[in-house]
Amino acid sequence: MINRRHPEEPPVLELAPLFTLDVRLAAPKTVYNGPHGERRLIDVLGGTFTGERLSGEVLPGGADFQLVRPDGVAEIDVRAALRTDEGDLVDLTGRGLRHGPAEVPARPAAGEQVDPASYYFRECRFFDAGAPRVAWLNRVVTVAHGARARSSAKIDVFEVR
């Protein structure tokens, strides 16, 4: 269904919950500090994803390849593998940004709970799925918002309709 306010206007975009990722993460490793900022590697240790249409596990072996820019913004570049409850494998990629007040990034790293509303954590997620049962993922765009803790991240993923 396409929502239009008037026939000549573009469709109104809607967001539909797809799933929530609960991901266990290794401590960030600084790869190097270069002219564009600090390059970090954060290994994905595993986790789960749960939703009405899709649930399963996040497989260990993925990673977030971050660039923390001089202005404090973390550019997120994540790659991970998902296995649905039915056994279908799905490749997940995501790009996004995380930033906020200067004191916020250190607090989750120290184990403190931080209100997700106190910083910006947004991503676009894309999928590569071979199994016919989940091939519809190859044709959707998703957006996400998340919350970071010391050794985990919780990310709500929404399909853009």
Going along the chain from its start, the domains and CATH numbers come out as 16-160 (2.40.160.20)
Model pLDDT, residue 3: 63
Tally of CA atoms within 13 A in the half-sphere of 39 that contains its CB: 7
Whole-model pTM: value is 0.89
CA distance readout (Å), 122 to 75, 85, 91, 137, 143? 10, 26, 19, 19, 7
Which residue is associated with the tokens 């993923």? 157
Of 55-59, 84-88, 115-119, 154-158, minimum mean pLDDT range: 115-119
> How much of the chain, in percent, has pLDDT values that exceed 90?
80
Residue 4: pLDDT above 80?
no
Residue-wise pLDDT for 59-95, tens only, equals 999 999 999 999 999 999 999 999 999 999 999 999 9
